[in-house]
Structure 1
Amino acid sequence: MTQKGLFKRLQDEGIPEASYSHEGGLPNERLCVEWKNNLWYVYYSERGIRTSEKDFLIEEIACQYFYQEIIRMVK
């Protein structure tokens, strides 16, 4: 699944948009995915700090990991 497909799936499943970000940065209390320096990063942003950060070479693997994490967080 690509990033586009990931966020469509999250919308379709009713996952609150306030719980994630696909723009990276440091939004408060959100799971984030970001493309930077030829890597995909998935991390939790809280109070301006990235925690539990993982990096991936392949978009589909990063998106699958993101999906599993966001589902675990909200359910």
Structure 2
Amino acid sequence: MDKKEFIKIMKKKHVPNFYYNIEGTGRDDERFYLNKDEHGWNVYYAERGCKTTNKYFNSESEALEYICKRLTE
């Protein structure tokens, strides 16, 4: 899955875009956030400055699939 496909699925499932940030810039609080760093693709959910979900993936596709699953369950 790439970012375009992810966004298409989110729109189809009526998931508001303020529930996630997959661009790595801008706000990261109270939403799923995707970030690439030296350890891989990092996905976390931050609330009031505290990360409640903090997972690493080997690929962007795996990370996006994880966010998609969490937001559409």
Gaps spanning 5+ residues in structure 2: where?
none
> So what's the TM-score if we normalise by structure 1?
0.76
Match of 1:60 in 2: 61
- Contact 2:13 2:72 (8 Å CA) reproduced: no
Count how many residue pairs are aligned between Structure 1 and Structure 2. Answer: 72
Gaps spanning 5+ residues in structure 1: where?
none
For the aligned residue pairs, the C-alpha RMSD in angstroms reads 1.9
Shift in alpha-carbon separation, 1:45–1:24, aligned structure 2, 3 A: farther
Q: Percent identity?
A: 31
> So what's the TM-score if we normalise by structure 2?
0.78
Moved beyond 3 Å, runs of 4+: 23-26
Match of 1:35 in 2: 36
